[in-house]
């Protein structure tokens, strides 16, 4: 069974094809082709994602990406069995493009469609890697809009352990990067600048780090960075790198500490890290070190599948269909859910 996945929730258009062997139910779905277009360059001029421009660009990109994906897999549209798309959460207009396209394609081909939760896509993205995790595990979901710790016992069995009460980790990276004049998207740029800085140079807050609390708070970091920035001598390149490194260290320390608490509380020995911030090298290095000491295995999606992509959407759809957790339907009167809690699934 060939499942097409379409991602359009924010500033990346992703299309992918995953094959699900329906005869051998234990077999992992296999990625047959994927194509991605990132709108980063277009939004850069505005310092952030412009929703209307994002929607329009998804419309422009999705068809050529579909052709590219099918060519990689050596398939035609007629070979597609199910059309999956990101139903939410995300930007309403951007989601509508993917949903509209998926449903139109499903209707034209007379194939069923399936709406997928974007965060479930991130959560299951490590199953695209050569060394996939096994259930159960603790998941640290760190994207531009979400920071959550979940206990995952099976496909669709997600218990929220903790989440941010204000800014997401990715948002903290992006906002502090913006203050440092690093542009958008800030995470990778801040991480790059941090490489030449001293992470201990500035004392920045690590909120909610006392006790066994699993919720996060990153909003205070902005103010602290802003205050420090105001004191920096103009043109002091090293001080800016130090501030970037100190900011990254604060975010990473909180993410690592809370992941360890979640692992301890659940008694689980596996951690899955997913979402854009999961690409952060410092986070990976610290998690690997801390978890190795405790006999905990950490799984990450491949770097290509850390940030938004179509493969994770096709994979999540395939795993839901495989486990009987969802049914694709010939229902084309689509709707989207810009706000959609994962534990609501």
Q: Which residues of this protein are in contact with ligand KG4, per CB under 6 A?
A: 10, 143-145, 170, 173-174, 185-188, 191, 275-277, 279-280, 307-308
Chain mean position to CA 314: 14
Report the candidate in 170, 166, 283, 178 with the shortest Cα–Cα distance to residue 229.
178
Judge whether 198 and 192 are in contact, CB under 8 Å: no
CB of 90 to Zn ion, least distance (A): 8
How does DSSP classify residue 28?
P
Q: By C-beta, is 89 or 207 nearer to ligand KG4?
A: 89
CB of 114 to ligand KG4, least distance (A): 19
When CB distances are held under 5 to 8 angstroms depending on the partner's kind, the choice from ligand KG4, Zn ion, none that residue 89 binds is none
Q: By C-beta, is 69 or 307 nearer to ligand KG4?
A: 307
CB of 255 to ligand KG4, least distance (A): 10
Q: By C-beta, is 177 or 193 nearer to Zn ion?
A: 177
How does DSSP classify residue 164?
B
> Residues 6 or more apart from 235 whose CB is under 8 A from it?
none
What tokens were used for 68? Answer: 């590219």
When CB distances are held under 5 to 8 angstroms depending on the partner's kind, the choice from ligand KG4, Zn ion, none that residue 33 binds is none
CB of 251 to Zn ion, least distance (A): 17
Determine phi and psi for 144, rounding to 5 degrees: -70, -30
Q: By C-beta, is 106 or 170 nearer to ligand KG4?
A: 170
Judge whether 269 and 297 are in contact, CB under 8 Å: yes
Judge whether 170 and 224 are in contact, CB under 8 Å: no
**Enclosing H/E stretch for 158:** strand 157-163
Q: By C-beta, is 133 or 186 nearer to ligand KG4?
A: 186
Q: By C-beta, is 19 or 308 nearer to ligand KG4?
A: 308
When CB distances are held under 5 to 8 angstroms depending on the partner's kind, the choice from Zn ion, ligand KG4, none that residue 133 binds is none
**Rounded Cα distance, 149 and 342, in Å:** 11
Q: Please report the sign of the dihedral spanned by the C-alpha atoms of residue 68, residue 77, residue 19, residue 126.
A: positive
What tokens were used for 59? Answer: 């419309």
Where along the sequence are the contacts to Zn ion (CB under 5 A)? Answer: 143, 308
Q: By C-beta, is 173 or 300 nearer to ligand KG4?
A: 173
How does DSSP classify residue 108?
H
When CB distances are held under 5 to 8 angstroms depending on the partner's kind, the choice from Zn ion, ligand KG4, none that residue 277 binds is ligand KG4
When CB distances are held under 5 to 8 angstroms depending on the partner's kind, the choice from Zn ion, ligand KG4, none that residue 186 binds is ligand KG4
**Rounded Cα distance, 302 and 273, in Å:** 11
CB of 270 to ligand KG4, least distance (A): 21
Determine phi and psi for 287, rounding to 5 degrees: -65, -45
CB of 74 to ligand KG4, least distance (A): 29
Percentages (nearest 5) of helix, strand, coil residues in the chain: 45, 20, 35
When CB distances are held under 5 to 8 angstroms depending on the partner's kind, the choice from ligand KG4, Zn ion, none that residue 207 binds is none
When CB distances are held under 5 to 8 angstroms depending on the partner's kind, the choice from Zn ion, ligand KG4, none that residue 158 binds is none
Q: By C-beta, is 143 or 164 nearer to Zn ion?
A: 143
CB of 267 to Zn ion, least distance (A): 29
CB of 193 to ligand KG4, least distance (A): 11
Chain mean position to CA 330: 28
When CB distances are held under 5 to 8 angstroms depending on the partner's kind, the choice from ligand KG4, Zn ion, none that residue 185 binds is ligand KG4
Q: What is the CA radius of gyration of the chain?
A: 20
């Amino acid at each position: 069974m060939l499942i097409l996945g379409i991602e359009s929730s924010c500033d990346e258009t992703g299309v992918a094809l995953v094959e699900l062997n329906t005869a051998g139910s234990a077999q992992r779905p296999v990625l047959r082709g994927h194509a991605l277009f990132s709108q980063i360059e277009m939004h850069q001029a505005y310092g952030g994602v412009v929703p209307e421009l994002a929607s329009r660009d998804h419309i422009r990109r999705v068809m050529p990406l579909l052709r590219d994906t099918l060519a990689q897999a050596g398939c035609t549209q007629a070979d597609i069995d199910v059309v999956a798309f990101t139903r939410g959460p995300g930007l309403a207009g951007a989601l509508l493009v993917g949903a509209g396209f998926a449903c139109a394609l499903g209707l034209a081909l007379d194939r069923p469609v399936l709406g997928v939760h974007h965060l479930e896509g991130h959560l299951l993205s490590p199953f695209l890697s050569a060394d996939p995790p096994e259930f159960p595990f603790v998941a640290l979901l760190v994207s531009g809009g979400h920071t959550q710790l979940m206990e995952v016992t099976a496909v669709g069995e997600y218990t929220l352990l903790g989440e941010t009460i204000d800014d997401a980790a990715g948002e903290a990276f992006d906002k502090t990067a913006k203050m440092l004049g690093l542009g958008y998207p800030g995470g990778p740029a801040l991480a790059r600048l941090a490489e030449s800085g001293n992470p201990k140079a500035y004392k920045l807050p690590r909120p909610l780090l006392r006790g066994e609390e699993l919720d996060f708070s990153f909003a205070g970091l902005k103010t602290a960075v802003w205050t420090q920035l105001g004191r920096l001598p103009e043109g002091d390149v090293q001080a800016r790198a130090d501030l970037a490194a100190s900011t990254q260290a604060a975010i990473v320390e909180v993410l690592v500490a809370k992941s360890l608490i979640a692992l301890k509380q659940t008694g689980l020995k596996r951690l899955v890290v997913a979402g854009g911030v999961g690409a952060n090298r410092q986070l990976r290095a610290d998690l690997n070190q801390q978890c190795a000491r405790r006999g905990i295995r950490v799984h990450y999606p491949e770097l290509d599948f850390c940030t938004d992509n179509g493969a994770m959407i096709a994979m999540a759809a395939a795993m839901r269909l495989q486990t009987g957790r969802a049914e694709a339907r010939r229902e084309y009167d689509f709707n989207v859910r810009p706000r959609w809690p994962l534990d609501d699934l």
